[in-house]
Structure 1
Amino acid sequence: MNNVMTDENGKLQRDYWNILKGIGAFCVVLGHCAMPVQNFVYLFHVPLFFFISGYMYNEQKYGDAPYDNLKGRMKSWVKYVALYIVYILLHNFLGYYDMLRIDEPLYTKAQMVEQMAYAVIGDGNELLAGPLWFVPVLVIGSAFMGFVIYYSRMLEDRFKSKKIKFLFQGIVIGCSSIVGYLMIAYGWDLPAHMQIAFAVQPYFWAGYLLRNYMSDLEKYIKYWVGIILFLLLAIYSRDHLYSLVDGYVSPIMYLTAFMGFYVCMCLAKGICVLQKSNYLRSLFVKMGQASFLLMGTHFMIIRGIDRIYAGYHQDIAMMYEHYLGNHNMLIPLYLVWGIGLPLLLQAFWNRLSKGVAK
């Protein structure tokens, strides 16, 4: 069987990593609309994107050019700000139709400008754009790791020792993650959730190390191990909920996240070996390609379904009993529309972009 992660030249196999991102995006949507499995997917779903980002970091290209790495990552920040501005402009309209919290105030023009300024610095706080909190963390975390690698390479060149390189990386990554973790645990919130960017450095670093120093990684991805880890996580999640952005943390979260990465990599491997014409493979590839849009719009879609459901029952108070997507009988609708509509929007955007390019 050919390597599904990289080709013979070590280049990333795009389908595999899109499928892995698609699995992560699916888990994010699932965690927001299916409360019975929320604890389980929260163990690893967002950290998975930090791990993927670390794996995709190209040391050959960016090792001596950390600002180029930052520049490339800033494209995600621009998309984050653009989508946030859309939600801010729609805020009063959505509030008028009871799509927001019952105590959510409508904006004046000055407040709209203020909220846009917060979005620019990575501190957007629109309810329906909530899942996008991870974007500034991803940009800052990846940039931070890039600079750590840059300075570690300088030390390697000076002392002619790879041990010095990895020792420096380990010390900086370890100390930053401890500081970030403690800040989360004690409720110290920095702009753009920078404390989270520090705390999740082990996820970035693990991905970086696996890509650059474990070329035969795939042979260690065994389905039977994935099944065992899946069962252990399912049992553990019955009584534990972790959420970086909400401050629900524990040192054990690092272990459970890595276990979840392994399970997702097993699943991605199984999907990737299917024929390219297979519907399931194609679906997850498309979900990975549209992961940003999917995670940025599914809250509004789920909230819209709840609003229609509440209107049908002529009980608008149902919108405010819970935070989001708590009606279990609607889970199939949440998933179909929460995933399907963003995929349609992404397909439309791709066609529009190609038309403009011509």
Structure 2
Amino acid sequence: MTAAITLTSVSKKYPDAPIYALEDITVSFSSGKIHSIIGRSGAGKSTLIRCLNFLESFDSGQLNILGQNTQFMSKEQRRQALKEIGSIFQKVNLLSRRTALENVMLPQEWQGVTNESAKLKAKELLAKVGLSGFEDRYPAQLSGGQCQRVAIARALANEAKILLCDEFTSALDPETSLEILALLRQLNKDLGVTIILITHDMNVVREISDFVYVMDNGKIVEQSDVEQLLLHPQHATTQSLLTGLFVRDLPHHLQQSLIATPGEGQIIVRLIFSSKSSQNPVIAELIQHHQIPINILAGSMDHLRATVFGTLLISAPYDKVTHDMMMAHFSKNGISAEVLGYLPVGGTHD
């Protein structure tokens, strides 16, 4: 898969800062995909994305954009490279004295495009973002979501192949945010534009992302496709960031009774089914073929983009043989199984 952007061993440290803002970052962002970068405040996310559009320099390493090593670019080559990159920020920074149409025309004007051509292109882009009929409105006459749509159209005005988005939905209400996410997904599908976004909102990640990257203290500590990372987080930072994203908590009465050490009693396991693995009668097979009595304690359904998945909380009598047999069975059927603890004899499911 071709990379739109590749960073190799990129590091950056601000003067007098005690730690690196970016430390030995090596990552590739595949062309035509949507990539989300998440992390706590101060993790280095904004510094990373500002390096991608030349708003920040870095101390060491290599940055390739669309196959070109930026280290050896002249000023003119950088200017040309920037035409391939559109940026969208939380503050849309539309010019208040220019109409929606004129704001979208602005990048083309800077490139010397004729007024007639720029106007035609701007109208096409406003139509693509759902703002036909709004060309002559000023920013003060538009809602927050409409202003963001104008900003997206403006970012694409020079045929950008890469779109960088920094906390672009954080000022919008949830319903408007979903509409903007749907728009970006459609633009990604229609135009093949590569999207790299920074967000604190895990719902943004789950709705739009193909790949997710987790940053902590200037490093990328975990990266994977969206389903693998959100459903099976490995790093402690990822697990903390995803707290509450899905309904995965144990019922309170079980939390009080659960112990961490195996012994006589019940083992409590949380299963996560994808749409594919949910087609198999996994629990029925355990009961029928392995004679393991399974008790279903709780369950829920959720989604990642268009993929439906389910979580199931089960218990079974504990012994080492039963444990190993269950885990092998779940693994064989492509189901994530996490042992949450053990319910001793005298504990309760009620």
Q: Under a length normalisation based on structure 1, what TM-score does the superposition of the two structures give?
A: 0.23
Work out which of the two has the higher radius of gyration on C-alpha atoms and give 1 or 2: 2
Select the structure that is richer in helix.
1
Select the structure that is richer in strand.
2
